[in-house]
Amino acid sequence: MTQLQTTPSATVGPYLAIGLTWEGGELVVPPDTPGAIWLRGTVFDGNGDPIPDAMVETWQADPDGRFDHPDDPRGATRYPGFAGFGRSHTDSGEYAICTLKPGRVPDGEGGLQAPHVDVSLFARGLLDRVVTRIYFADEAEANAQDAVLRGLPEDRRQTLLATPTDDGYRLDLYLQGDRETVFFAV
């Protein structure tokens, strides 16, 4: 089959809010859904300053570890209306996504991954999205078995672990510096 060359990415620029603002985009589920949690965090630049013009998108499995998608061969989910996708701008100083905590997801090779949320981060000054994962600090046993986390040095692993808060979890993202978040090539 002839391979076509892929279209190169470009920055979202400073005016992303014009095109990429969705009413309720940050609600993967309505906030009054049983079990709903808020994932929150600040995005920091290399000076340690919060970035007010970034956008965080999240993609995740439902609490059973299933995806509302035809390429998940395990079939329908028990959570109608749970699309798994959220989009939050950081103009308030932090991102905030209301969702359900994902379940463990098969790794496709007989094992299980720890609960995680895939994250795309876009901003002026980033010519492509950067990708990371949110894991959950209170899933120690699952995290210890997760191949992706196990592949990282201990101190780097910490940059992916969201910590429990009153209404969910918190994970700050650091684009640079000593605490630079682990970013992934996908």
Partner 1 sequence: MTGTTSGSRLDLPRYARTDAGLRTPVGYADYRSTGLRAPLRTPVDLPHRLTEVTGPLLGEDRVTDTDADLTRRLGGEAQGQRIIVHGRVLDSDGRPVPDTLVEVWQANAAGRYRHVVDNWPAPLDPHFDGLGRVMTDDQGRYEFTTIRPGAYPWGNHHNAWRPAHIHFSLFGRAFTQRLVTQMYFPDDPLFFQDPIFNSIPEGARHLAISRFDYERTVPDWALGFQWDIVLRGAQQTPFETEDDGDVA
Shortest Å, Cβ 23 to partner 1:
9
Helix (H) or strand (E) holding 157: helix 154-157
Residue 14 or 31 having the CB closest to partner 1? 14
**Dist CA 182 CA 170 (whole Å):** 16
Shortest Å, Cβ 163 to partner 1:
21
| Spatial contact of 53 and 90, defined as CB atoms under 8 Å apart | yes
Shortest Å, Cβ 133 to partner 1:
8
Residue 37 or 142 having the CB closest to partner 1? 142
Residue 40 or 66 having the CB closest to partner 1? 66
Place of tokens 């089959």: 1
Which of 183, 172, 178, 177 has its CA nearest to residue 40? 172
Residue 62 buriedness (CB in 10 A; 0-12 / 13-18 / 19+): buried
| Spatial contact of 114 and 76, defined as CB atoms under 8 Å apart | no
Residue 157 or 167 having the CB closest to partner 1? 157
Shortest Å, Cβ 58 to partner 1:
10
